[in-house]
């Protein structure tokens, strides 16, 4: 149920690239995803958290990398 709700929200917002990531995760074509933690995938933090949780449930390893600005501090 959660997956369908997330997919519906993504479709409403026209976020086809994120839908494709989820589909790739389902098919086993996406095993790892590198993200800058301070940026994430989506502007909507709640939806971002839900998408990341779904990707992890589908077996994707989320690898957080440092933002260049953080590295220069």
For residues 69 and 6, the model is more confident at: 6
Model confidence at 37, pLDDT cuts 50, 70, 90, reads: confident
- Mean pLDDT score across all residues of the chain: 91
pLDDT at 70 over 70: no
Mean pLDDT on 34-55: 94
| Integer Cα distance of 71 and 49 in angstroms | 24
Mean pLDDT on 40-56: 95
Which DSSP helix (H) or strand (E) runs through 10?
A: helix 2-12
Burial tier of 70 (Cβ tally within 10 Å: 0-12, 13-18, 19+):
exposed
The whole model's pTM is what? 0.86
In terms of phi and psi (left: phi > 0; alpha: psi -120 to 50; beta: otherwise), the region of 33 is beta
């Amino acid at each position: 149920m959660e997956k369908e709700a997330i997919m519906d929200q993504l479709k409403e917002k026209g976020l086809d690239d994120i839908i494709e990531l989820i589909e790739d995760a389902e098919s086993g074509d996406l095993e790892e995803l590198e993200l800058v933690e301070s940026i994430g995938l989506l502007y909507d933090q709640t939806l971002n958290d839900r998408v990341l949780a779904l990707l992890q449930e589908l077996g994707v390893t989320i690898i957080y990398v440092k933002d260049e600005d953080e590295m220069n501090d």
